[in-house]
Amino acid sequence: MEALSKRLDTYYVAIKKLILKYQSPSIGLFPLDTTLIGKESHHAHVRDNVYCAAAVWALSLAYRKLDDDRGRTYELQHSAVKCMRGILFCYLRQADRMEKFKRTQSWQDALYSTYHTITGDPVGDIAGQLEIDAVALYMLYLVQMIASGLQIIYTNDEVDLIQNLVYYIERAYRTPDYSMHRTSDKNDGNRELRASSIGMVLAALHAINGFNVFGPAGTSPSIIYVDPDAYHRNSTIFHTLLPRESNTRDTDAALLLSIGYPAFAATDEELIRKTKTAILNKLMGSYGLKRFLNDSYHVELADPAADNSMLSERRKNLECEWPIYLIYLSLDAIFNDNEEESQKYRSLLKNLIYNVDGMDIVPEFYFVPKNVTHLEQLKPKSQTRISASRYPRSLFLQGQSLYYILKLLVDELITVDDIDVIGRHSPSSSWRQYSAKGGALFKIQTSSVVVQISLITESRRLQSLLATYGIDTQTREQVEPIQIWTPNELVTRFEKLGFNKNLGLHGRPKRPMGPLGTSKVYRLNGIPIISYPLMLDQTDFYMSLDSSVFTNNLKNGLKFIHDNWNMTGRPIVCVFLREFNIRRSHFRELFDLIYTLKTGECNGVRIRLGKLQVLLSSACSESLDFIKEDISKILVPQIKRKDTREIPSPREIRSFSMTAKNILLSEEVNEEEIDEEPLKLLSFQDLERDFQETDNLLKKMAILHILQEQYGPGHYFIDGNILHCINNVYSTACNGLAWSAIRYGAGLLNKVVDSLAPSITTMLVKGKQVTLGIFGYEEVVISSPLTPAEIKLILYSKCACHNVREAVLQQELVIFLADLISSSPHLFTGMQRLRIGWIIQAMREMMKLILNSNKCIESLSPSMIRKLLIQLLSSKFHELPKAESEKRWLYHRILVGAVNRVPENFYENVWNILYKAPDGICVSGKILPRIPTIAEMTCRGMAFALRVEEMLSGISKPQYRQIAVELLTVIAAIVQRNPELQFQGVINLNKIIVNAIGLFAASNASFAGLTLEEQEDHFYSSSPYDKNSTTIFLARAVVNQLLEGCVTVTEQSPCSIT
């Protein structure tokens, strides 16, 4: 024991001298610059401070094992606690910013990451401060330390702050941030969705869910709640992004922290292996790891004044190398019980650290001196690098802290279980949880999940009707005292969780509850409360009025819950049935689904169908004790929740068979399109008269739209105001399933579908860009996640002004596309940019050209829209039989061009062309320059593909875009067969296409008298394969450009075009 004490004393002296010496006496923070003489000598970063606290805490855990620790355990523990509470103090003073960020998700409202070590004031510019991973790292270590027995959280105000920190980070899956390795240019464009940040958040959310921050002595008010659906979305996006860091970075050393120590967030072993392999292959150097490729930090260029357009090329192989990542790799190997690998990285590290006064010092990074940069570029890893620090002569405290944690583990003074109390490093199936008194924990399911379902009807007459078909249901009053809340009611009550008047925190933001959150039983004063899923709520957005969509949502929802359930107890799904759901057109579909549920299995999901009272005993339960309102005002008797049709009158009972018949025969109405222009010329009185006389709901909506534009929604109109009339007509249209009028009304009411922002994020992380806007008008390109409010603004500012109905129709397309890109990614092969307005235009053209239908697309039900979309994405229109269409190639080019699909290897082909074109490629006023594109990107990189799409986005006609794609393919073939070619000047695609059409028209005498537009139509209708193919004329046009001197041929090899 004496020997152990001496070994620990050695570490104690080192940590006191190299770390604790610099701890602020006021709030316990550690500075970035330990020289204490620079202008940033009192700046403290959250991430560095967490690791300093972790090192001190780790040594205290070692001293715990001594019988006589001479008070050092207490001293070290409270030094760590002081640092963690110092960060907490800084966050408390930023509560107003936290509250703003919860609403806006804007980097301008983010918490600062850097604070003054003495006062706790935020320091620095707000630009670049949004580092969600730093907040998550703090929360992860907070849980680890409290679980080890430390008392860090003292008051209920602090509990509420931690709960609000959860709200702050839980939308990381759609919050672009600067992350751990931001570039020196902290502009808005450097924010991205980064796997390293999301992974750290994922670990923090899993660790803190159901955790009592007061420790073992705490009660239910100090338990932290995490939205299970937010956790799942973070997990999905994280594992989708891996092994990449983001859309612009193939890899990043920061990913080591997410897939290994301290987060251990990834659960897919193969994905972990791929990510780690990519990091080592691309970033490993002789002096540690590069942070990421083309990292400009502290790169000293031999000629800084040279052409900036080639800057990234000139920085190649000169990135600084950081020894700290060897420590992370060695720690990860220890946690994985791989001593050989850990020793390998420790050996590399040993050659990089230096000794001062008998103590090991970890340098921050190694850089290539300016005088040998050209030699290093010629022969990578050939030159000797020099160690340096961000602050000259300053210690790198983060590196020192991690180094001592590693040494304590290597010397077996602590174990991995000591510093990973909650078992993050264990296999995910055995992750440990620390909870008390009522938290619903996240866990990995090791057995098949049984989804429990209770069928609830809105009225007794619907219950009686379903009973005639052998379907047992319950009404609200029959399940009392169980309360059935709408999804919005549940969201409203959860706003009280984390509410704190003293701190100005308003609790949980008004975010919808997802299917996992509504599959739990909530208890308030012992009374059970359940809610039905938002996806089945027909009052939220009109899509669920379509029974086919309703049943599809239910099936997909059950599958989703089954596959992603991660809580103790069984999920319970309340299916609230309305008369809308049994319209004749989809009557059989719904009933088939219910009968399938009765068999006990649906789509591979085990189902238990039963009465709500029976299912409660095995359901997952969550407490609502945080609600402090008068219970009598919240728990409304179910009899008061019923609509007027709940209790059938004697007449209804006698005529039940007629009522049932009326329900079943209810059918979608026929809608006649109208011309709105004549209506705009009418006076207010004439519009009012037309409104009252017409039965056409679409015309009523058009009149209300005109009046709303002219007089505003609050203007008096027929026993109310215009907005009231819009709502009434919208309700009537919903009852009659008049889809065109429904969409018109939803657009006028500025409705937004739930999950719009996550759906766009799903498409973005799949490597796609999304554009919103009407075909032929301005489009907004979305390349990073947006908030629901930002998306709503785009839709109603860019779409509604041209077509009110399309503002909501585009929302349907976003939801369907996100679903399809997850379930059927092959449908999106060759599609880099999803232009929603163009896809809708393609669907219009498909209905007219292929399906021979003149029906307006806005009058189709959402389920028909989905079927039409799938047909559009999966069809090959040029394979239509010749007898069916003489213009099948025109149709093909219109539809393929509209969905922006390109052939295989297209972007690589454009890269090869660009390599031969010094002045770039242009089409329809947009140019793709050779420099700096070639220097900064790669031929297979996502960034280059998006740049090509940006060039093509200037084309206004789908068929013209497709011809441009074919032309680029032809030029690529010529360049490939004749590698000696070198273009001079810009390759003008418009000019070449005009020449090709001219050659095509001259080849056939019958085209002589046609207009240019008619000649173009014939050209677009021609096959690219036959003897008079478009390919031949495009190639001849390219050759003509060659003969006109726009192409240079080297003397070494003759040019031969075949």
Higher pLDDT, 431 or 642: 431
Q: Give me the percent of the chain exceeding a pLDDT of 70.
A: 89
Higher pLDDT, 552 or 133: 133
For 163-197, the three-class secondary structure string (H helix, E strand, C coil) is HHHHHHHCCHHHCCECCCCCCCCCCHHHCECCHHH
Question: Side by side, which strands form the sheet with 365-367?
Answer: 284-285, 288-290, 321-322, 365-367, 386-388
Q: What pLDDT score was predicted for residue 526?
A: 84
Return the number of other C-beta atoms located less than 10 Å from residue 433's C-beta. Answer: 17
Distance CA 160, CA 712 (A): 42
Does residue 403 sit in helix, strand or coil? Answer: helix
Does residue 294 sit in helix, strand or coil? Answer: coil
Residue 917 binned pLDDT confidence (cut-offs 50, 70, 90): confident
Query: Quick check: 178 pLDDT over 50?
Result: yes
Phi-psi sector, 800: left (phi>0), alpha (psi -120 to 50), beta: alpha
Return the number of other C-beta atoms located less than 10 Å from residue 36's C-beta. Answer: 11
Least-confidence region, from 107-111, 343-347, 355-359, 426-430: 426-430
Burial of 1009 by CB count in 10 Å (0-12 exposed, 13-18 middle, 19+ buried)?
exposed
- Measured CA to CA in angstroms, residue 555 lies from 519, 549, 550, 604, 815 at distances of 14, 10, 9, 10, 16
What amino acid occupies position 234? N
Cα-Cα-Cα-Cα dihedral sign, residues 440, 444, 446, 451:
positive
Structure confidence by residue, pLDDT tens digits, 852-891? 788 899 999 999 999 999 999 987 765 555 535 667 888 8
Query: Quick check: 737 pLDDT over 80?
Result: yes
What amino acid occupies position 354? Y
Distance CA 591, CA 575 (A): 13
Strand pairing class (505-506; 499-500): antiparallel
What value does the mean pLDDT take over residues 769-785? 92
Higher pLDDT, 147 or 653: 147
Mean pLDDT across the chain, nearest whole number? 86
Q: What pLDDT score was predicted for residue 126?
A: 84
Phi, psi dihedrals of residue 490, rounded to the nearest 5°? -65, -40
Q: Name residues whose C-beta falls within 8 Å of residue 790's C-beta, 6 or more positions apart in sequence.
A: none
What value does the mean pLDDT take over residues 911-937? 88
Q: What pLDDT score was predicted for residue 878?
A: 57
Return the number of other C-beta atoms located less than 10 Å from residue 706's C-beta. Answer: 18
Query: Quick check: 75 pLDDT over 90?
Result: yes
For 42-96, the three-class secondary structure string (H helix, E strand, C coil) is CEEEHHHHHHHHHHHHHHHHHHCCCCCCCCHHHHHHHHHHHHHHHHHHHHHCCHH
Query: Quick check: 346 pLDDT over 60?
Result: yes
Query: Quick check: 641 pLDDT over 60?
Result: no
What value does the mean pLDDT take over residues 924-941? 85
Query: Quick check: 1048 pLDDT over 60?
Result: no
Question: Side by side, which strands form the sheet with 483-485?
Answer: 483-485, 527-531, 521-524, 621-623
What amino acid occupies position 414? I
Cβ(44)–Cβ(30) under 8 Å? yes
Distance CA 557, CA 547 (A): 15
Burial of 1006 by CB count in 10 Å (0-12 exposed, 13-18 middle, 19+ buried)?
exposed
What value does the mean pLDDT take over residues 741-760? 92
Nearest CA-CA partner of 173 in 784, 792, 767, 820: 784
Higher pLDDT, 370 or 668: 370
Distance CA 309, CA 231 (A): 42
Cβ(516)–Cβ(561) under 8 Å? yes
Distance CA 718, CA 331 (A): 74
Query: Quick check: 633 pLDDT over 80?
Result: no
Distance CA 252, CA 246 (A): 9
Residue 1056 binned pLDDT confidence (cut-offs 50, 70, 90): very low
Nearest CA-CA partner of 1051 in 972, 973, 982: 982
Token pair 């560095």: residue? 48
Question: Side by side, which strands form the sheet with 780-782?
Answer: 780-782, 769-772, 833-835
Least-confidence region, from 65-74, 445-454, 817-826: 445-454
- Measured CA to CA in angstroms, residue 536 lies from 515, 640, 724 at distances of 10, 22, 25
What value does the mean pLDDT take over residues 418-432? 79
Peptide bond just before 932 cis, omega within 30 deg: yes
Residue 222 binned pLDDT confidence (cut-offs 50, 70, 90): very high
* Upper half-sphere CA count for residue 162 (Cβ side, 13 Å): 33
What amino acid occupies position 1003? S
Paired tokens of 1012: 């240019």
The secondary structure element, H or E, covering residue 587 is helix 587-598
CA dihedral 550, 551, 553, 554 (to 10 degrees): 120
Least-confidence region, from 259-273, 293-307, 571-585, 1013-1027: 293-307
Higher pLDDT, 81 or 767: 81
Paired tokens of 802: 């041209």
Query: Quick check: 926 pLDDT over 50?
Result: yes
What DSSP letter does each residue of 766-795 carry, written as one string? TT-EEEES-TTS--EEE-S---HHHHHHHH
